[in-house]
Each structure stands twice: as C-alpha cells, then as structure tokens.
Amino acid sequence: MGTGQQFLMPKNSSNIDLKLSIHIFNDGFYFSSNSEKNYFLYEDINIFEEKEFTKFLDLNEIDDQNQVKLIFFDNPSMFTPSELHAQENSKQLLSNYTELKKNHKVVSDITEDNKVCIIYQISKKMEKTLNKCFNQIHYYHYSKILYDDLQEFIKPYSDRKLRLFINLQKNIFDLFLMESNNLLVYNSFPHSNSDDFMYYLFALIEEYKLSSDSLDILFLEKFDNYNNYYLGVNNFHDNIKFIENDTQQNIHSNHPAPYFMNIL
C-alpha cells in the first residue's frame, strides 16, 4: 500500500445518507461525495483489495449504507440498437470491437430512451470488493451518461440539423453525431495534443461529408487546458458552442474526465 493521501473529507463529519460517485480509470479512481472530491492512484489505495479499500472507507467514515454510483472509464464501450440486441451475444459483439480482458465480465446498460444498448467490460475483482463494501451500487459506463445528457439537451429542438457533440478527456475524446434526437455515429479516439484531435475530427467530417453550414459543433463544457483544441476547430468552423453541465461547480484539474467531476 502506498503512502499517498488517505482522507477524502474531515474526520467526524456527518455522512448520513451520503451519496457517492466512484469513477474508475486505468491508473486510479475519482471519489466524489457531497462533501469532498479527490483522485486516488491505485498505488496509494488499491480498490481491488477488499482489506485496503475497507480501511480507506473506515478512515473517511463511509459505511455500507451509502448509495454508490460507479462510473467506468477504464474500458471502451460499444453501442448497439437495443431492439436488435440479444444479451447472450454481448460477449461476442464486444470481442469484435475491443480485446476482452482476463478476469473481466461483459455487462451492458440501456439508455434512458431505451434505444441503445451499451456493452462494456468490468473487473470481476473490483466488483467483488465493492459489493462487499456497499449494499446498493448502480453501475454505468460513462458513455451512457453522456448519451442521456445529450438527449435531455436536444429535447427543446424540433429541427433536423446535424449536431456534433464533443467530450474531451485525458488521452481520449468522444464524438456523438446526431440528427434531431437520433444518434448517427458514436466513437472515441485517442489524443495527446490538439493535432491528434484535429486529425480524427477531420477524418469523421470527411467520411460523412459534413459541411460547416449544415453542422453545429458543441463541446461538453469548456476547460482552459483544451483552449488549443477550441482554437483549432474555430479555424474552420465559425460558430462552436459549449454545453454547460448543471452540476458543474468548480474545476478539479486532477479529474481525467472533467465534465464528470461533480456528478453524484
């Protein structure tokens, strides 16, 4: 066990009916509560080991009565129309899209509008640990939350204009191409700088023959560390927009996917 920060919130705080959100990444997890938010590396707190994670929860006076939303960012997801999807085919479908990991199981979410089944994989060991620590856990892939948020955003619009929604996060970004409330394309791409981002963005625009006149480009929130990305898009598209997240309160630079930093 590492010697990094162990406390999430002041000791002796009242955590009755506390809602928690745990965001799972490849190198650590983001712990978000009503009181405090922080990112912890696995080398400091190993969420895969029950004894170690239980000690962390005890230090922060968090018990098994807390309601937990577990959001996965550590593996990609695959979208498939829910009306065409058979649950028994999930593993085979996902294996055609990404490598299946050892000691993981394939799970799925259904979007709020029941149109899309989202298939992904989670660690069996992590699931076992968390199920022993909490009585009530809700599992989600982050792409489901994005899709549901976008459906809420476009409800007031009756036009059939094409909208390209962009979610920027550390190392990857997500693209949702929508016409009205219909999802045409979802994909995620790697990036390490704005040049990578522009390459994949232009590739999608060219593939679907999108013109600036017929397309709105909307970023999910605006963050200073991505200013070069916004400027790059502005060079070929005059009017980019930013969607504000109602839960947004302040910037925590240590969250790899900042749009989610205050989601409970």
Q: Where are the domains of the chain?
A: 1-144, 157-245
* Token code pair at residue 52: 């170690």
Is the model more confident about 203 or about 160?
203
CA distance 137 to 66: 9
Mean pLDDT taken over the chain: 89
* Token code pair at residue 143: 């792409």
pLDDT band at 9 (very low <50, low <70, confident <90, very high): very low
Q: Which residue has the tokens 């898009």?
A: 233
Tens of pLDDT, residue by residue over 44-62, are 999 999 999 999 998 888 8
Ranges 57-71, 88-102, 130-144, 145-159: which has the least confidence: 57-71
CB 97 within 8 A of CB 118: no
In CATH, what class is 157-245? alpha beta
98 in helix, strand or coil? coil
The percentage of the chain sitting over the pLDDT mark of 90, rounded to a whole number, equals 73
CA distance 90 to 118: 9
CB 184 within 8 A of CB 172: no
CA distance 172 to 176: 14
CA distance 243 to 245: 6
Q: What is the CATH number of domain 1-144?
A: 3.30.420.250
Tens of pLDDT, residue by residue over 103-144, are 999 999 999 999 999 999 999 999 999 999 999 999 999 999
How big is the chain, counted in residues? Answer: 264
CB 53 within 8 A of CB 46: yes
CA distance 237 to 214: 11
